[in-house]
Homo-oligomer: A and B are copies of this chain.
């Protein structure tokens, strides 16, 4: 467990946020996750295009009004000038604003945590990566689901060859919240996600198909060589996709099958991945994240329980409480922030960083995601033709 015994001083970071004003769901989740382990304090914000919202959100959070900004541009410049400038900015705006916002802060040398999908265009994502590298700052893209301890254990198992050679990946992410034309009802989340101007080229693949891609990539380490994607739009009047079936061929000859859907009635947030090797397989489901099913060719199927069964050390270090006390979405999210924050503290202290220290999703994951979305949209537009990626 990652807790108290390992840390001996009250190291602290400060951060600001763009987006996430009152009424937004994900801003509050980011803030709770960021502060979960007591390392990060929010001290600045531009929470909304509506400055009243920013003021109210800031007041609620106890932020000094002098650090509540009308625009992200103003915030980036002002914070950039402060001696006690924020250690990092969290960007939780609609997708189309990720790029200019991140750019503005990167130009001030401020570390970035940004929601996914990173940008509408691959070139934008690559530009951000380049800029981050030039400025020597950290850039985390919050693919949250990789923060679960059992995901990390599955990854370790695969890296160490416990499953043998990987042959097939079956991953899916069904939801049903867009099974009806919710976007016409004034629901804010539905409105921007189904609007190409705010969300980009894809809704379903962009929002959740990208999590499938990231999870499969993170867990298996496999790279996609080519894919064939059929994007569907089932709800009348909708412009973008709300369901997607994708076949992928990986570089090493393994194959994958992905499905994401927002119209699959009965599913809440059903991210699930199954990885089949020559010797064993794993199955993990986000909705029951404290368990990992491991099946072997030659012995009984095992259900591993976080906190109970022996995990590889790196994975075990992400488990906070004893088995049977469920950890959930907030804790996975907090794991992303905790790793990011510890790395940043180490960096600020001039300490060396190991691969494990840097085990948070980065701008490279963000680029891969945008490329994947791009390829899916292109394949589908050609009649679900096969495309090299």
Contact = CB atoms under 8 A, between A and B. Distances in A.
How many chain A residues sit at the interface, stated as a range, is: 35 or more
A329 B323 contact: no
B228 A255 contact: no
Given A245-B257, A269-B324, A321-B25, A9 B297 contact: no
Given A167-B234, A325-B328, A303 B300 contact: yes
Contact of A328 (B9, B25, B328): B328
A57 interface: yes
Interface string A122-163: 000000000000000000000000000000000000000000
Tally of this chain's copies: 4
Given A10-B62, A321-B29, A263 B245 contact: no
Contact of A175 (B9, B180, B324, B384): B324
Interface string A284-297: 00111110011111
Contact of A60 (B9, B234, B384): B9
B309 A299 contact: yes
Interface string A24-44: 010111011001111000000
B247 A265 contact: no
A265 B276 contact: yes
A223 interface: no
Nearest to A278: B179
Interface string A252-283: 00010101010111111110001011111101
Interface of A: 1, 3-5, 7-10, 12, 22-23, 25, 27-29, 31-32, 35-38, 56-57, 59-62, 167-168, 170, 172, 175-177, 179-180, 228, 230, 232, 234, 243, 245, 247, 255, 257, 259, 261, 263-270, 274, 276-281, 283, 286-290, 293-297, 299-305, 307-309, 320-331, 383-384, 386
